C-alpha cells in the first residue's frame, strides 16, 4: 500500500512541515520505500518531482524539504509497490492535460482486473500500474462526457464522484486528484483531513521529532487543509472520511456543492 498527502490552501503555502513527516514513512517509519512523487500547482502551471528511490534518503526529497515551494494545491505520494515494477514511470502522481489544464492523480490501493474490464481510448498509461490505468480511464470519461469544460463546476464534481464509485468496485480506491482548480478526494478505506485556520496553534509530527507553531508562520487570513491516508500530527483532531466519501476542496476548505 502507499500513502497520500494533499493540501488545498487559499494563498500559496509551503508544505515543508507535512512533507517532512510523510517522507519519513518512505523507508524509515514506514515501509513505503518504492519511490515517491509530489506535484505543486503554481498558477496554471504544475511542478512535479518524482523519484523511484526511498523518500527517507532521497537527495531530491532532502532538497524539497529545505526549499519551500509555495502552492495552493499539492499532491504527494509515497509508494509501496504492489503492481508494476519500481521505476520512474510507475511513480505517482501522474499528470495529464485536458482543456488546457494540468490534471494530477495519486492512488492508494489495488484495483483487481481493471485493465481487462475498463478499456481506454484517448489517454494511455506510460507505466504499468493499475493506478495510472484508473487515472487514464477517468480522464477518458471526462473527455468523452465534456469535450469542453462544463459550465457548472458542480456537474464535473458529481461526474467524477460517480467514476470514483465505479472504480472503487474493483478494490481499494483512496485517491487525491486535482484539476488545477479543485482538489478531489475519494475514500475507500482510509482518508483523514484537517483544516487549519486562525487561531493557529502548534502541531507535532507523528513521524519525526519536529514541531511547528503555525501562529508564527501564517497570517490570520490563511486557511489550508491537509488531507492524508493517516494523521501526520499527534496533537490535533483529524476528520476521518467514511467509506465511499467523495470530498472536494477549494481555497483551503471543504466545498459542498448544493
Question: What is the three-state SS of 132-160?
Answer: HHHHHHHHHHHHHHCCCCCCCHHHHHHHH
| Residue in 2, 46, 136, 178 annotated catalytic | 2
Of the two residues 52 and 231, which places its CB atom closer to a second copy in the complex?
A: 52
Q: Is 88 in the site for a second copy (CB under 8 A)?
A: yes
x-marked contacts with a second copy along 127-156 as a string, rule CB under 8 A: x-----------------------------
Q: Which is nearer to a second copy, 102 or 188 (CB)?
A: 102
- For the sheet with 45-51, list strands across it: 45-51, 36-42, 71-78, 3-13, 223-228, 192-197, 239-240
* Phi and psi angles of residue 80, each rounded to the nearest 5 degrees, phi first: -120, 110
Cell of 186: 475519494
* 2 carries an active-site annotation: yes
Rounded Cα distance between 37 and 33, Å, is 12
Q: Does 54 bind a second copy (CB under 8 A)?
A: no
Between CA 133 and CA 116 the distance in angstroms is: 10
Note whether 101 binds a second copy by CB under 8 A: yes
Instruction: State yes or no: residue 43 binds a second copy (CB under 8 A).
Output: yes
Closer of 106 and 187 to a second copy (Cβ): 106
* Residue 199 binds a second copy (CB under 8 A): no
Q: Which of residues 228-257 bind a second copy (CB under 8 A)?
A: none
Greatest Cα-to-Cα distance within the chain, rounded to the nearest angstrom: 52
Q: Tell whether residue 81 is a contact of a second copy (CB under 8 A).
A: no
CB of 16 to a second copy, least distance (A): 14
C-alpha to C-alpha distance for 108 and 4, rounded to whole angstroms = 7
Residue 46 touching a second copy (CB under 8 A):
yes
47 binds a second copy, rule: CB under 8 A: yes
Is residue 59 at the binding interface for a second copy, with CB under 8 A as the rule? yes
Least CB distance to a second copy at residue 143 (A)? 8
3-state secondary structure at position 23: helix
C-alpha 151 chain-centroid distance: 25
Chain residues in the site for a second copy (CB under 8 A): 42-50, 59-60, 63, 67, 87-91, 95-102, 122-127
Amino acid at each position: 500500500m502507499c500513502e497520500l498527502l494533499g493540501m488545498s490552501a487559499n494563498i500559496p503555502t509551503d508544505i515543508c512541515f507535512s512533507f517532512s513527516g510523510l517522507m519519513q514513512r518512505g523507508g524509515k517509519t514506514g515501509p513505503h520505500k518504492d519511490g515517491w512523487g509530489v506535484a505543486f500547482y503554481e498558477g496554471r502551471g504544475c511542478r512535479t518531482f518524482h523519484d523511484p528511490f526511498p523518500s527517507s534518503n532521497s537527495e531530491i526529497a532532502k532538497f524539497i524539504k529545505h526549499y519551500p515551494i509555495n502552492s495552493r494545491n499539492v499532491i504527494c505520494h509515497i509508494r509501496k509497490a504492489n503492481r508494476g515494477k519500481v521505476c520512474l514511470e510507475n511513480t505517482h502522481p501522474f499528470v495529464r492535460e485536458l482543456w488546457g489544464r494540468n490534471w494530477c492523480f495519486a492512488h492508494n490501493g489495488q484495483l483487481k482486473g481493471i485493465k481487462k474490464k475498463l478499456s481506454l481510448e484517448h489517454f494511455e498509461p506510460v507505466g504499468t500500474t493499475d493506478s495510472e490505468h484508473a487515472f487514464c480511464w477517468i480522464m477518458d470519461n471526462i473527455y468523452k462526457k465534456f469535450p469542453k469544460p462544463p459550465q457548472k463546476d458542480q456537474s464535473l464534481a458529481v461526474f467524477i464522484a460517480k467514476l470514483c464509485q465505479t472504480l472503487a468496485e474493483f478494490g481499494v480506491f483512496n485517491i487525491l486528484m486535482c484539476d488545477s482548480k479543485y482538489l478531489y478526494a475519494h475514500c475507500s478505506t482510509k482518508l483523514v483531513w484537517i483544516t487549519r485556520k486562525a487561531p493557529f496553534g502548534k502541531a507535532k509530527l507523528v513521524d519525526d521529532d519536529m514541531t511547528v507553531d503555525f501562529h508564527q508562520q501564517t497570517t490570520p487570513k490563511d486557511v489550508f487543509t491537509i488531507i492524508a491516508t493517516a494523521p501526520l500530527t499527534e496533537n490535533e483532531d483529524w476528520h476521518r472520511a467514511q467509506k465511499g466519501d467523495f470530498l472536494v476542496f477549494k481555497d483551503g476548505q471543504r466545498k459542498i456543492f448544493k
